């Protein structure tokens, strides 16, 4: 960098309006990009963090979601008895045979929403490390008590502790509220599997989730389960299962983010090119002087590209700033694998902000290159004459 | 019109700049047309369901089936003139990326219920005669390159195993929002292969008198209220609308993005117009000396700005309409996706507004420019 | 009554709330058919006087009447239209619009009239003929020499047949030969076509070509 940066900074300050309008244009592009990515990442994170890499989820063979799966009580017992299933302090398997149904329920503020009701083993909290009761207590075995996910509780009526929820032809008392590290579980209602099973689908579980004694042994566990003649199942690492669920909508969201930001970026880059051409045009004599002083054309090129990057990064930083307030904002969509409502938060991460800045810098380079090349190729005499 | 040459000459003073600005407006309006078409298509798909048909499903949840015996009781309900039913199959074709909707339908009653689903009568007849036959949408046929008579295999998820189907009929919907990527087969096939283990997912009822929809719905739900399988009945339109709202607040998202795009491009266009105006301060002063009035000079600036954004907008919107008209880029996700004429009109109005807004400041500056100062600045 | 009557005209401006007078109480009559040169050192206010006559600037006091119309009393809106009809302005730096051809530049003032395209064409070609540039009609300003540019500028000033031609240092940017041609042209306009001309210049040789020379110095106008 032969031509000092201060020269570019001063030049930018000399024409604040066009610098700022261009930067604001970039800011909006970066802002939209970061916001959309935050949406996509938030959605993905909610689903991915639902699954633990230490757990195995067993479904009926061919079923691609819990909803379409079914496992008999015998199958659940066989799976729980396998040697690779981790054991609790009492020596019993850390496995949770679960029922899974999606019900229609009245949402706060009107409208029906689809809601997951999961019947879990009382040991589910030991199997799923991330799930914590933050208020109240776990349901008592054998009772019609339920616990509610924290985000679900905010969006539906009668979810306070001691209140009563009615579904499946019965009344259920809410005795606890739980969090699950922002995952999809927080959008669910949990009750005891033995209580929920008869209410909806009869004598069948939808899945069995168990903790592995040795998480690295999954590659051996999977074929063991799937080839067991007594079972007719697929085994998934729990994390992979949920990651797959996020694939469809996650990919759509990411595509939208990239498509929209890409299209907007084209416009913003045109704006930057315009601005930089004007900058070059109005500074012919200056460029002439620089060249006369002995600066090489490539120094001039670097200098003008740097100036474009400065504008772009200024805009990028501004755009990132715009998006900070949406971090943590809750929104919801449908998890199309279960047709149920899934609440999740926008995730604006430092890495994402960095991506935004890099994106801005790239726009700056593209927008600055042609004008900078024109500046660098300007014959000295013509440049000096231009005033 | 006699000033056209002047405006034209000014437009091409800096070719590169005019073209770039025009293109950025075009790009923005392309995006606008795409985004708004998402909204109009969603709105249209909320309208796809008929007001003269009711859908009865389980009140417990969308995935809970209803007893087949309800068919008779529904048909006997006052105000209902016909009953059919269907079930969601949820099979996978080769892999889960190839998603499309598959319905097991009671063929005898289903297609008479849906006159908007058009297919040649001989194909329908062939379908009716074969247990494993399928009616597939034209779009679906094109998407996978299927031929009439071809046998395809779906892997069941809800209903395990490999399922073979033979395509015997291809339909084209009257209303594009109905979607041409659906797949219909015989409910009886499902019933037999599962050992009579299935019951209908939902019932579709035709109303004798559409104005009675609310009353009939209430009557049905009341009838099953205390049974083991209570029902929820609503018009098909409301039922469809429920699915659309499940996407979440798409409208808000689209509007937020649209606004950001608009302002980003407004900045680009305004910046261009201001740069153009700054270069021409001197000339504007000269023209004032020649007797050009303030209003006329402002108007010329505005016309120039509107020309850039208007032509850019036209380009972007026409481009979107042609592109989405010629390809089926988004119609798998959004059946019937198309750029409506209202979007074209609205987009052009926005483009013109964009021009007026971006030209406003320079036009105002031109009007209040002091000749004496402007001429002195250079001289 | 003189064509241009300047009565007790004063112009001052403010710098840091201090009033600085350019000139004070100037009186001048310009008769129809006159060719008057106004001389003075730079900063003497001769261009300001020209601008006041053209209605481009407002005086501090006094009034200017052109052909019976009081310029100093006109509203901004009517001034532009009045200027289009009555004033032909020739600039030191020609001030042609670079994006228009010579023809289009000359046509510019006619766009403000109700003339048809055909009539405009006739007028333009007449004016181009007077300045001797009919063969350069389709050239752009950058393709012309300084002297030619100024001749186009003059054609533009006369094309609408204005009441008076105001020329602000018309030879200030030209070499001796071109300047001579321009002055000859102005003389011809005055002699042959009876045009009233007020020319500001600081070049004594240019001033010689006028009927009459006035000097403006330190705010005082002398003959």
Q: Indicate the Cα dihedral angle A354, A359, A360, A365, nearest 10°.
A: 130
Residue C158 in this model has a pLDDT that exceeds 60: yes
Average pLDDT over residues C185-206: 89
The C-alpha of A91 sits at a distance from chain B's nearest C-alpha, in angstroms, of: 35
Average pLDDT over residues A132-154: 91
Task: Tell me which residue of A209, A232, A224 sits closest to A74, measured CA to CA.
Answer: A232
Query: Most C CBs within 10 Å: which of B289, B294, B297, as the mutation test of the C interface?
Result: B289
The C-alpha of A82 sits at a distance from chain B's nearest C-alpha, in angstroms, of: 25
Read off the pLDDT of residues C52-66 as tens digits, 9 standing for 90 and up.
898 888 888 898 999
The reply to whether C117 touches chain B by the CB within 8 Å rule is: yes
Q: Given an 8 Å threshold on Cβ–Cβ distance, is C95 in contact with B3?
A: no
Quick one: how far is CA B336 from the chain centroid? 6
Residue B145 gets the label, from left (phi > 0), alpha (psi -120 to 50) or beta, of: left
* Average pLDDT over all residues of chain C: 88
Query: Most C CBs within 10 Å: which of B290, B300, B366, as the mutation test of the C interface?
Result: B290
**Range from A108-112, A186-190, B99-103, C26-30 carrying the lowest mean pLDDT:** A108-112
What is the predicted pLDDT for the residue at A246? 81
Residue A123 in this model has a pLDDT that exceeds 80: yes
Task: Tell me which residue of B299, B290, B3 sits closest to C81, measured CA to CA.
Answer: B290
Q: Which residues on adjacent β-strands are paired with residue A105?
A: A113
The reply to whether C83 touches chain B by the CB within 8 Å rule is: yes
Q: Which residues of A touch B272 (CB under 8 A)?
A: 271, 274
Query: Most B CBs within 10 Å: which of C45, C92, C111, as the mutation test of the B interface?
Result: C111
The reply to whether B366 touches chain C by the CB within 8 Å rule is: no
Pairing of strands C212-217, C35-39: parallel
The reply to whether B15 touches chain C by the CB within 8 Å rule is: no
The C-alpha of B24 sits at a distance from chain A's nearest C-alpha, in angstroms, of: 4
Q: What SS3 class is residue B206?
A: strand
What is the predicted pLDDT for the residue at B377? 54
The reply to whether B3 touches chain C by the CB within 8 Å rule is: yes
Neighbours of A, requiring at least 3 CB pairs below 8 Å, are B
Q: Which residues of B touch C56 (CB under 8 A)?
A: 288-289, 371-372
Q: Which residues on adjacent β-strands are paired with residue A56?
A: A210, A237
Show the low-confidence residues of chain B (pLDDT under 50): 378-379
Query: Most A CBs within 10 Å: which of B56, B243, B260, as the mutation test of the A interface?
Result: B260
Q: Given an 8 Å threshold on Cβ–Cβ distance, is A274 in contact with B17?
A: yes
Among the partner-chain residues B156, B232, B272, the one whose CB lies closest to the CB of A62 is: B156
The C-alpha of B76 sits at a distance from chain A's nearest C-alpha, in angstroms, of: 26
Q: By the 8 A CB rule, do A336 and A249 touch?
A: yes
What is the predicted pLDDT for the residue at B379? 42
Q: Which residues of B touch A151 (CB under 8 A)?
A: none
Q: Given an 8 Å threshold on Cβ–Cβ distance, is B291 in contact with C83?
A: yes
Among the partner-chain residues A114, A266, A277, the one whose CB lies closest to the CB of B62 is: A114
Q: By the 8 A CB rule, do A380 and A291 touch?
A: yes
What is the predicted pLDDT for the residue at A317? 95
Exposed (0-12), middle (13-18) or buried (19+): which is B2, by Cβ within 10 Å? middle
Spell out where C40-190 has E strands.
61-66, 69-70, 87-90, 164-168
What is the predicted pLDDT for the residue at A130? 87
Read off the pLDDT of residues A196-213 as tens digits, 9 standing for 90 and up.
888 776 788 999 999 999
Q: Which residues of B touch A252 (CB under 8 A)?
A: 333
Residue A2 in this model has a pLDDT that exceeds 70: no
Q: Which residues of B touch C97 (CB under 8 A)?
A: 6, 9, 283, 286-287
Q: Given an 8 Å threshold on Cβ–Cβ distance, is A67 in contact with B63?
A: yes
Task: Tell me which residue of B31, B19, B4, B15 sits closest to B308, measured CA to CA.
Answer: B19
Number of A/B CB contacts below 8 angstroms equals: 148
Please provide the distance, in angstroms rounded to a whole number, between the alpha carbons at the two ends of chain C: 20
B 120-149 near A (Cβ less than 8 A): none
Q: Given an 8 Å threshold on Cβ–Cβ distance, is B288 in contact with C56?
A: yes
Exposed (0-12), middle (13-18) or buried (19+): which is B270, by Cβ within 10 Å? buried
- Rounded Cα distance, B313 and B319, in Å: 10
Average pLDDT over residues C59-78: 87
Residue C17 in this model has a pLDDT that exceeds 90: no
Between A149 and A248, the higher pLDDT residue? A149
B 294-353 near C (Cβ less than 8 A): 294-296
The reply to whether C104 touches chain B by the CB within 8 Å rule is: yes
Q: What is the pTM of this model?
A: 0.77
Exposed (0-12), middle (13-18) or buried (19+): which is B204, by Cβ within 10 Å? buried
- Rounded Cα distance, C81 and B222, in Å: 81
Q: Which residues of A touch B247 (CB under 8 A)?
A: 333-334
Q: By the 8 A CB rule, do A112 and A104 touch?
A: yes
What is the predicted pLDDT for the residue at B378? 46
The C-alpha of B366 sits at a distance from chain C's nearest C-alpha, in angstroms, of: 14
Q: What percent of chain C has pLDDT over 90?
A: 22
Residue C33 gets the label, from left (phi > 0), alpha (psi -120 to 50) or beta, of: left
The C-alpha of A319 sits at a distance from chain B's nearest C-alpha, in angstroms, of: 11
What is the predicted pLDDT for the residue at B332? 65
What is the predicted pLDDT for the residue at B315? 93
Residue of B nearest to C99 (CA): B9
Query: Most C CBs within 10 Å: which of B5, B291, B294, B379, as the mutation test of the C interface?
Result: B291
**Range from A61-70, B124-133, B341-350, C151-160 carrying the lowest mean pLDDT:** A61-70
Task: Tell me which residue of A3, A29, A4 sits closest to A272, measured CA to CA.
Answer: A29
Q: Which residues on adjacent β-strands are paired with residue B92?
A: B155
Q: Given an 8 Å threshold on Cβ–Cβ distance, is B61 in contact with A103?
A: yes
Question: In the numeric block, which tokens belong to residue B150?
Answer: 């071809």
- Rounded Cα distance, A148 and A367, in Å: 52
Q: By the 8 A CB rule, do A238 and A51 touch?
A: yes
Residue with tokens 């168990």: A210
What is the predicted pLDDT for the residue at A387? 45
- Rounded Cα distance, B277 and B366, in Å: 8
**ipTM surpassing 0.90, yes or no?**
no
Exposed (0-12), middle (13-18) or buried (19+): which is C19, by Cβ within 10 Å? exposed
- Rounded Cα distance, A172 and A159, in Å: 10
Residue A144 in this model has a pLDDT that exceeds 80: yes
What phi and psi, each to the nearest 5 degrees, are found at residue A320? Answer: -60, -40
Q: By the 8 A CB rule, do A152 and A340 touch?
A: no
Number of B/C CB contacts below 8 angstroms equals: 75
What is the predicted pLDDT for the residue at B151? 93
The C-alpha of C124 sits at a distance from chain B's nearest C-alpha, in angstroms, of: 15
Read off the pLDDT of residues A250-277 as tens digits, 9 standing for 90 and up.
887 888 888 888 888 888 888 888 888 8
Q: Which residues of C touch B375 (CB under 8 A)?
A: 91, 95
Task: Tell me which residue of C195, C184, C191, C187 sits closest to C157, measured CA to CA.
Answer: C195
B88-109 exposure pattern, b = at least 16 Cβ within 10 A, e = fewer: bbbbbbeeeeeebebbbbbbeb
Q: Given an 8 Å threshold on Cβ–Cβ distance, is B292 in contact with C84?
A: yes
CA angle B5, B10, B11 (to 5 degrees): 95
- Rounded Cα distance, A139 and A177, in Å: 10
Q: By the 8 A CB rule, do B331 and B337 touch?
A: yes
B 64-123 near A (Cβ less than 8 A): 64, 90, 92, 96, 99
Between A376 and B47, the higher pLDDT residue? A376
Read off the pLDDT of residues A280-316 as tens digits, 9 standing for 90 and up.
877 877 888 787 777 888 888 888 899 899 999 999 9
CA angle C167, C172, C175 (to 5 degrees): 125
Exposed (0-12), middle (13-18) or buried (19+): which is C118, by Cβ within 10 Å? exposed
Q: Given an 8 Å threshold on Cβ–Cβ distance, is C80 in contact with B5?
A: no
Residue C154 in this model has a pLDDT that exceeds 50: yes
* Average pLDDT over all residues of chain A: 86
Average pLDDT over residues A118-133: 90
């Amino acid at each position: 960098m032969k031509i000092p940066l201060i020269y570019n900074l001063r030049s930018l300050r000399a024409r604040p309006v066009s610098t700022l309008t261009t930067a604001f244009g970039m800011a909006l592009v970066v802002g939209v990009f970061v916001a959309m990515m935050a949406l996509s990442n938030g959605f993905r994170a909610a689903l991915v963090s639902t699954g633990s890499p230490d757990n195995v989820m067993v479904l009926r063979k061919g079923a691609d979601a819990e909803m379409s799966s079914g496992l008999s009580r015998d199958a659940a017992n066989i799976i729980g008895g396998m040697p690779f299933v981790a054991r609790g302090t009492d020596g019993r398997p850390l496995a949770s045979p679960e029922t899974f149904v999606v019900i229609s329920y009245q949402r706060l503020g009107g409208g029906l929403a689809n809601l997951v009701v999961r019947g879990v083993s009382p040991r589910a909290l030991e199997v799923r490390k991330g799930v914590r009761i933050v208020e109240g207590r776990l349901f008592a075995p054998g009772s019609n008590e339920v616990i509610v996910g924290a985000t679900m509780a905010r969006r539906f009526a009668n979810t306070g502790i001691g209140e009563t929820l009615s579904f499946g032809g019965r009344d259920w008392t809410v005795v606890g509220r739980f969090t699950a590290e922002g995952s999809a579980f927080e959008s669910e209602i949990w009750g005891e599997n033995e209580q929920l099973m008869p209410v909806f689908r009869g004598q069948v579980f939808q899945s069995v989730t168990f903790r592995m004694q040795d998480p690295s042994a999954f590659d051996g566990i999977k074929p063991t389960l799937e080839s067991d003649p007594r079972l007719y199942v697929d085994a998934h690492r729990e994390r992979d299962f949920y990651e797959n669920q996020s694939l469809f909508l996650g990919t759509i969201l990411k595509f939208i983010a990239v498509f929209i930001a890409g299209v907007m970026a084209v416009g913003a880059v045109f704006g930057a090119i315009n601005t930089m051409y004007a900058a070059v045009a109005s500074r012919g004599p200056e460029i002439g002087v620089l060249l006369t002083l002995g600066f090489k054309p490539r120094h001039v090129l670097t200098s003008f590209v740097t100036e474009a990057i400065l504008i772009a990064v200024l805009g990028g930083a501004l755009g990132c700033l715009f998006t900070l307030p949406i971090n943590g904002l809750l929104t919801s969509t449908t998890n199309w694998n279960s047709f149920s409502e899934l609440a999740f938060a926008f995730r604006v991460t430092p890495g994402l902000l960095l991506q935004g800045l890099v994106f801005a810098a790239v726009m700056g380079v593209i927008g600055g290159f042609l004008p900078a090349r024109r500046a660098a190729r300007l014959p000295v005499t013509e440049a000096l004459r231009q005033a | 019109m006699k000033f056209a040459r002047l405006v034209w000459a000014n437009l091409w003073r800096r070719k590169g700049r005019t073209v770039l600005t025009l293109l950025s407006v075009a790009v923005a309006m392309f995006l606008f047309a795409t985004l708004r078409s998402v909204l109009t298509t969603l709105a249209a798909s909320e309208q796809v369901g008929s007001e003269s048909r009711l859908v009865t499903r389980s009140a417990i949840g969308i995935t809970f089936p209803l007893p087949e015996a309800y068919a008779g009781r529904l048909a006997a309900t006052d105000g209902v003139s016909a009953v059919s039913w269907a079930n969601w199959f949820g099979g996978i074709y080769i892999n889960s990326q190839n998603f499309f909707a598959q319905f097991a339908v009671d063929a005898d009653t289903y297609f008479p219920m849906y006159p908007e689903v058009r297919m040649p009568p001989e194909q329908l007849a062939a379908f009716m005669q074969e247990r494993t036959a399928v009616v597939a949408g034209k779009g679906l046929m094109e998407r996978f390159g299927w031929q009439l008579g071809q046998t395809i295999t779906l892997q069941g998820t809800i209903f395990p195993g490999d399922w073979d189907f033979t395509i015997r009929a291809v339909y084209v919907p009257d209303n594009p929002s109905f979607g041409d990527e659906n797949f219909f087969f015989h409910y009886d096939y499902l019933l037999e292969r599962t050992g009579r283990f299935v019951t209908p997912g939902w019932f579709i009822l035709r109303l004798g008198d559409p104005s009675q929809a609310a009353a009939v719905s209430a009557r049905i739900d009341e009838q099953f209220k205390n049974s083991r399988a209570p029902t929820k009945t609503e018009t098909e339109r409301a039922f469809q609308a429920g699915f659309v709202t499940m996407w979440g607040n798409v409208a808000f998202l689209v509007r937020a993005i649209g606004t950001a795009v608009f302002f980003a491009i407004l900045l680009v266009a305004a910046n261009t117009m201001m740069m153009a105006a700054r270069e021409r301060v001197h000339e504007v002063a000269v023209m004032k000396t020649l007797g050009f009035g303030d209003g006329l000079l402002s108007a010329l600036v505005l016309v120039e700005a509107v020309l850039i954004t208007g032509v850019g907008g036209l380009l972007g919107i026409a481009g979107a309409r042609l592109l989405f008209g010629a390809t089926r880029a988004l119609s798998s996700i959004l059946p019937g996706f198309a750029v409506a004429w209202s979007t074209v009109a609205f987009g052009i109005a926005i483009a013109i507004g964009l021009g007026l807004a971006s030209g406003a400041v320079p036009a105002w500056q031109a009007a209040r420019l002091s000749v004496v100062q402007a001429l002195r600045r250079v001289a | 009554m003189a064509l241009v009557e300047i009565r007790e005209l004063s112009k001052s401006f403010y710098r840091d709330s201090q009033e600085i007078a350019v000139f004070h109480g100037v009186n001048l009559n310009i008769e129809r058919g006159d060719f008057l040169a106004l001389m003075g050192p730079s900063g003497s206010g001769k261009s300001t006087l020209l601008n006041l006559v053209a209605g481009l600037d407002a005086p501090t006091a006094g009034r200017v009447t052109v052909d019976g119309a009081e310029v100093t009393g006109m509203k901004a809106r009517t001034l532009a239209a009045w200027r289009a009809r009555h004033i032909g302005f020739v600039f030191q730096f020609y001030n042609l619009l670079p994006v228009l051809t010579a023809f289009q530049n000359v046509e510019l003032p006619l766009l403000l009239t109700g003339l048809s395209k055909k009539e405009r064409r006739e007028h333009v070609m007449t004016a181009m003929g007077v300045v001797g540039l009919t063969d350069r009609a389709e050239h752009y300003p950058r393709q012309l020499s300084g002297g030619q540019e100024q001749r186009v500028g003059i054609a533009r000033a006369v094309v609408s047949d204005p009441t008076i031609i105001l020329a602000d240092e018309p030879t200030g940017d030209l070499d001796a030969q071109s300047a001579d041609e321009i002055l000859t042209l102005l003389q011809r306009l005055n002699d042959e076509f009876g045009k009233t001309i007020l020319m500001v210049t600081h070049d004594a040789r240019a001033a010689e070509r006028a009927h009459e020379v006035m000097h403006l110095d330190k705010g005082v106008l002398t003959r």
